[in-house]
Amino acid sequence: MNQQARPSGRTRWNGAGAGPSPFRAGAAITAETVKARAKALGADLVGIASARTLNAFPPDPRWPQTPDRISPYVKSCIVIVQHIPAGAFRCKTNIPVQYMDMLVLRKMDKVAYRIAEELEAAGHPTFAVPAQETEWSYKRASYGRLSTRHLGVEAGLGTLGLEVNILTPEYGPRLYLTGILTELELEPDAPMTEQVCIGESCSRCLHSCPGDAVLHFGIDKRACAEHAQEFGFGQIMKFLGQVFDAQEAGATTDELAAMARSRDLFGFWQGLLRVVGSFGDCPRCLAVCPVGDDYHAHLAEHQKAIPEKTPEKVTLAKAFQQARRQGDPVAGLDDWNVRWVGPEGYKGIVARQVQAFKQRQRERAAAAERDGDD
Ligand code: SF4
Ligand code: SF4
């Protein structure tokens, strides 16, 4: 399709066709202009968080993921969201989700790069932080310089769910985020105070989790990684350990060669080549979460039944529900963490969304009928 044939305001997936940068050196740049530009370049959602707030409220103060540990000059964080197309969650295997994850991240990188380049050209040093990077000096395991999910909450885009993914009202947890750090002062968005996650009475993420990794507004990262990163770093280390052990135990060259021909090594190669297999391997908690218009439109029927649900998981979810009702201490909901879960608790946002979605469907059907009669 050429640009003329494109509906007005639409851009190609890589941002081509978005037109020249709206930012001018010496001219005021507002949060609204920046958000509009990010959307014109292809971002699905955009919010702004203040670096001051991010520095004051690190997700875990023991290992502070804060902008000031990256640069002392950063004033604002522009947070962009790209959703994972729902079709990938309707497939028989997880491979399409894994492949789409990679495409989504590539697209976000391009949007982030353009924003950084354009703001810099207007006189405001700006750079992007990677969405999937681990900073080993902070803490072992997957732990980036910034927590993109917390950036999203501070930028008013959603709140953390029972499995501590960020849930946005638009796409639930089926998305990735990137933070763009700038020395430009921008008006920050207010975080949502209403909990987007339905909570313990839903627990569909917990029911679906193959690794029993979902805690009470928390996650067992190691248990999750076994499934979510089938060919990730932890698995590479495990495989190498097995090879060293076999060598020490006197394995023959043929035996070692057989290990090298294993599915594991092929998986590692594939992960390096296409990212597939190195992260996002298990999308179950994303697929079954009933938050988001994309769920109502494309996944509700398909994901209704949860084959992984067991009586033990149901009992655990009920225990979580009971603990919350009784006001028992829950680490994920303590005074520090409740900020990102939604201090007001769940007030029915998903039910309201379903109503609005059904209403739009009825209106669309009525309009289609009218058009047919004309
Ligand atoms: S990604 Fe998979 S293993 Fe990890 S919490 Fe979600 S459902 Fe569980
Ligand atoms: S599946 Fe339910 S409990 Fe889990 S994050 Fe989504 S809304 Fe919350």
State the DSSP H helix or E strand holding residue 339, giving kind and residue range, or none if neither.
helix 338-341
Per-residue pLDDT of 56-100, as tens digits, reads 999 999 989 999 999 999 999 999 999 999 999 999 988 899 889
What b/e sequence results for 97-136 when a residue is b if at least 16 CB atoms lie within 10 Å of its CB, and e otherwise? bbebbbebbebbebbbebbbebbeebebebbbbbbbeebe
| Cα gap 350→11, rounded to integer Å | 30
How many CA atoms, within 13 angstroms, populate the side-chain half-sphere of residue 17?
A: 15
CB atoms within 10 A of CB 175: 26
In the reported structure, the alpha carbon of residue 303 is separated from the centroid of ligand 2 by a whole-number distance in angstroms of 13
31-40 helix and 95-121 helix, angle to the nearest 10 degrees: 130
CB-ligand 1 contact for 131 (6 Å cutoff): no
Q: Which atom of ligand 1 is closest in space to residue 282's alpha carbon? A: 2
SS3 310: coil
Q: Is the pLDDT of residue 345 over 80?
A: yes
- Main-chain dihedrals φ then ψ at residue 83, nearest 5 degrees: -85, 155
Which residue from 280, 219, 59 is spatially nearest to 148, judged by alpha carbons? Answer: 59
In the reported structure, the alpha carbon of residue 229 is separated from the centroid of ligand 1 by a whole-number distance in angstroms of 10
108-126: average pLDDT: 97
- Whether 43 contacts 81, CB under 8 Å: yes
Looking only at the bridges linking them, the beta strands covering 45-50 and 166-167 are: unpaired
Ligand 1 pocket test target in 164, 197, 207, 227 with most atoms within 8 Å of CB: 227
Q: Is 248 exposed, middle or buried (0-12, 13-18, 19+ CB in 10 A)?
A: exposed
Q: What is the pLDDT of residue 143?
A: 75
Q: Which atom of ligand 2 is closest in space to residue 200's alpha carbon? A: 3
More confident residue, 126 or 237: 126
In the reported structure, the alpha carbon of residue 221 is separated from the centroid of ligand 1 by a whole-number distance in angstroms of 9
CB-ligand 1 contact for 228 (6 Å cutoff): yes
| Cα gap 196→166, rounded to integer Å | 9
Please report where in the chains the tokens 């050429």 appear, as a residue.
2
In the reported structure, the alpha carbon of residue 219 is separated from the centroid of ligand 1 by a whole-number distance in angstroms of 9
Q: Which atom of ligand 2 is closest in space to residue 350's alpha carbon? A: 7
Q: What is the pLDDT of residue 137?
A: 72
Q: Is the pLDDT of residue 232 over 80?
A: no
CB-ligand 2 contact for 214 (6 Å cutoff): no
| Cα gap 358→364, rounded to integer Å | 10
CB-ligand 2 contact for 228 (6 Å cutoff): no
pLDDT band for position 2 (cuts 50, 70, 90):
very low
| Residue 324 CA to its chain's centroid (Å) | 26
Provide the edge-to-edge strand list for the sheet that holds 175-182: 45-50, 76-83, 175-182, 126-129
In the reported structure, the alpha carbon of residue 351 is separated from the centroid of ligand 1 by a whole-number distance in angstroms of 25
Q: Which ligand has the shortest distance to the CA of 281?
A: 1
Q: Which atom of ligand 1 is closest in space to residue 219's alpha carbon? A: 5
CB-ligand 2 contact for 196 (6 Å cutoff): no
In the reported structure, the alpha carbon of residue 162 is separated from the centroid of ligand 2 by a whole-number distance in angstroms of 6
Tokens read off for 283: 């999308």
219-233: average pLDDT: 84
Q: Is the pLDDT of residue 115 over 70?
A: yes
253-260 helix and 233-248 helix, angle to the nearest 10 degrees: 170
- Whether 62 contacts 114, CB under 8 Å: no
Q: Which ligand has the shortest distance to the CA of 321?
A: 2
Which residue from 167, 172, 160 is spatially nearest to 340, judged by alpha carbons? Answer: 160
Kindly give, in sequence order, each residue whose CB lies less than 8 Å from that of residue 141, ignoring residues fewer than 6 positions away: 134, 221, 222, 225, 234
SS (H, E, C) 196-219: CCCCCCCCHHHHHCCCCCEECCEE
Q: Which atom of ligand 2 is closest in space to residue 196's alpha carbon? A: 7
| Cα gap 150→340, rounded to integer Å | 7
In the reported structure, the alpha carbon of residue 220 is separated from the centroid of ligand 1 by a whole-number distance in angstroms of 9
Ligand 1 pocket test target in 149, 197, 229, 282 with most atoms within 8 Å of CB: 282
Residue type, 109: D
pLDDT band for position 4 (cuts 50, 70, 90):
very low
Ligand 1 pocket test target in 206, 284, 313 with most atoms within 8 Å of CB: 284
CB-ligand 1 contact for 221 (6 Å cutoff): no
In the reported structure, the alpha carbon of residue 331 is separated from the centroid of ligand 2 by a whole-number distance in angstroms of 18
Length, in residues, of the chain: 374
Per-residue pLDDT of 7-50, as tens digits, reads 344 455 555 678 999 999 999 999 999 999 999 999 999 999 99
- Which residue's alpha carbon is at the smallest distance from atom 4 of ligand 2? 205
